[in-house]
Amino acid sequence: MQAIYEDVSFELDKMDSRENYHCSTETEDDVYVNTEDCSPKLKMSTGPQAVDDVYVNRQQLHPKTKTCTASSGCKVVIFVLGLLLLGALASLCAVGILYHSKVVSTEILRERHDNATSELMVLKDNATETERLYEELKVKHHEFVSTYSKTEQLKEMLKAKYQQVHECLSACSAKQTCTLCEEGWKTLGLKCYYFSTDKLNWKQSKDYCVEKGGHLVIITSQPEQDFVVSQIRETHWIGLNDLETEGQWMWVNNKTLKETGVTFWYSAPEGPNEPDNWKIQDPSGENCAALGDENGNINKWFDASCRTIKKCICEK
């Protein structure tokens, strides 16, 4: 300890001998030294207390220099960290904005999707209702066409009957007589019927009626059916056949059986029903129609081989 005191005394003597003593300002760190410590005329008393003061001042001087140097570097580091923090904050804000935009876009798209779905459901319901109305109209149209067709048929029938009545009245007016049918013909309404005594096949019977100025009978009503049945006792040819197309029965005036809408085919409880196109007697089948059969059933229609010999019924 004594040695330390002697060294301090030596240093103090050297400091006293320097009249123009100044603190060094060569380095930037010296700026931080207290100017009172750098006084050219520093007076210090000797003794343990003075030595302790000098030691403390020297200890305080060096750490401040190191702190000042580190502080300058820390400012740069802090500045860089601040820039990085600002960059990170800006990036975070950008990500937040993008996320918010995506959420908003998703909500808009979802709302549009919901609206589009609702509109599609409405359109689907409208389409279903339109299709239902179309089907109803189609059914009504079919009914209208069918009714119109029947009306046209009735119109043609009435027109034909009117023409016959008109011709009859004209004939009666000219001859002063109202005899409608010729001798040997029987009358029903405005028609005349001839029941042959000769037996011919169907084609010969057809030609026979034409020669007499008429044609094989065409039955279009229940009264007409009842009348011709009442005049016969055995089977007779009528003007119905399916020679051109099997199953499609045509009258001799080229009207189909469906057009007249009246049929009197034989139907047996045990079957088979007429027409049955039986081919045992004639391989070509039964393609001509007759009123009655060989068994005495004279009130119904039967299909038979056109080659069979029968009496016939003509009308005009």
Least confident of 1-5, 30-34, 258-262: 30-34
Q: What is the pLDDT, as a whole number, of residue 168? A: 66
Residue 38 has pLDDT above 90, yes or no: no
Q: What is the pLDDT, as a whole number, of residue 153? A: 87
Residue 192 has pLDDT above 60, yes or no: yes
Cα–Cα distance for residue pair 199/290, rounded to 1 Å? 13
Q: Give the torsion sign (CA, 291, 293, 294, 297).
A: negative
Nearest one of 258, 254, 247 to 150, comparing CA atoms: 258
**Residue 235: how many CB atoms within 10 A of its CB?**
20
Residue 87 has pLDDT above 70, yes or no: yes
Q: What is the pLDDT, as a whole number, of residue 171? A: 61
Burial status of residue 315 (CB atoms within 10 A of its CB: 0-12, 13-18, 19 or more): buried
Taking only the tens place, the pLDDT of each residue in 110-154 is: 889 999 999 999 999 999 999 999 999 999 998 989 899 889 988
Q: What is the pLDDT, as a whole number, of residue 223? A: 93
Taking only the tens place, the pLDDT of each residue in 129-141 is: 999 999 999 999 9
Place of tokens 């207390």: 49
Structure tokens at 316: 């005009």
Taking only the tens place, the pLDDT of each residue in 223-268 is: 999 999 999 999 999 999 999 999 899 999 999 998 888 999 999 8
Taking only the tens place, the pLDDT of each residue in 8-31 is: 444 444 444 444 444 344 444 443
Q: What is the pLDDT, as a whole number, of residue 163? A: 78
291 phi and psi angles, rounded to 5 deg: -90, 110
Q: Which helix (H) or strand (E) holds 314?
A: strand 311-315
Q: What is the pLDDT, as a whole number, of residue 174? A: 57
Taking only the tens place, the pLDDT of each residue in 265-293 is: 999 877 778 998 888 888 889 999 999 99
191 phi and psi angles, rounded to 5 deg: -110, 155
Per-residue confidence band for 69, with pLDDT thresholds at 50, 70 and 90: low
Residue 95 has pLDDT above 60, yes or no: yes
Cα–Cα distance for residue pair 148/316, rounded to 1 Å? 28
Cα–Cα distance for residue pair 49/225, rounded to 1 Å? 162
Residue 65 has pLDDT above 60, yes or no: no
Nearest one of 188, 211, 242 to 312, comparing CA atoms: 211
Taking only the tens place, the pLDDT of each residue in 193-219 is: 999 999 999 999 999 999 999 999 999
Average pLDDT score, the chain: 79
Q: Which amino acid is at 285?
A: G
